[in-house]
């Protein structure tokens, strides 16, 4: 009887050790959609984001969106910082005054901000923003990779586009605060 118990224990031990080995050998690629992550950015970059989140979410209907979608906006910001904004050049001299006025206006909508993007910026944004549609989604009920990112983009599109352009124009966060023209 003791031999049977020992044999069962040995077999169970071998099965468990094989399962542990299998799990250890199957590695999932890390999700880099958020770059190296907001918490891993230097303090100056995090400070920049905090000032941008206050200054750009001024529309009465969107003042709390920066808190509601904080994780999603931090993710996008971290991605931009990690990739150095795709190497895009600042266009602050040409558009900073207009961008500041439009982004803080309750009159301007997201489309006016979108028209300030250069063709290279449009291409980079479309390729870099992490919310691609999942293949096989039915028309009218599209599902996106990182659905929360897509929702944040659709709900606060103007603010997201403003944050994107300010980040690029501030040389992908060369200062610890957003630089607005006043």
Q: So what's the pLDDT on residue 160?
A: 96
Query: In terms of pTM, does the model score above 0.85?
Result: no
Q: So what's the pLDDT on residue 22?
A: 47
Q: So what's the pLDDT on residue 15?
A: 52
Q: So what's the pLDDT on residue 61?
A: 84
Q: How far is CA 98 from CA 9, 24, 25, 103, 161, in A?
A: 74, 54, 54, 8, 14
Divide the 182 residues of the chain into consecutive groups of 10 and give the mean pLDDT of each group.
58 54 55 87 95 91 87 94 96 96 94 97 95 74 81 93 97 93 78
Q: So what's the pLDDT on residue 69?
A: 92
């Amino acid at each position: 009887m003791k031999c049977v118990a020992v044999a069962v224990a040995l077999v169970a031990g071998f099965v468990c050790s094989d399962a542990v080995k299998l799990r250890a050998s199957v590695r999932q690629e890390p999700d880099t959609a958020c770059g190296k992550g907001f918490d891993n950015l230097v303090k100056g970059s995090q400070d920049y984001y905090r000032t941008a989140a206050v200054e750009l979410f001024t529309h009465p209907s969107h003042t709390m969106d920066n808190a509601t979608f904080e994780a999603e906006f931090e993710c996008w910001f971290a991605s931009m910082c990690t990739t150095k904004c795709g190497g895009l050049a600042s266009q602050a001299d040409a558009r900073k005054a207009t961008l500041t006025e439009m982004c803080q206006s309750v009159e301007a909508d997201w489309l006016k901000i979108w028209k300030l993007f250069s063709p290279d910026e449009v291409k980079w944004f479309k390729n870099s923003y992490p919310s691609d549609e999942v293949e096989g989604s039915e028309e009218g009920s599209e599902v996106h990779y990182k659905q929360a990112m897509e929702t944040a983009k659709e709900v606060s599109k103007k603010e997201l586009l403003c944050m994107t352009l300010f980040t690029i124009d501030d040389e992908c966060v060369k200062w610890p605060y957003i630089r607005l023209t006043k």
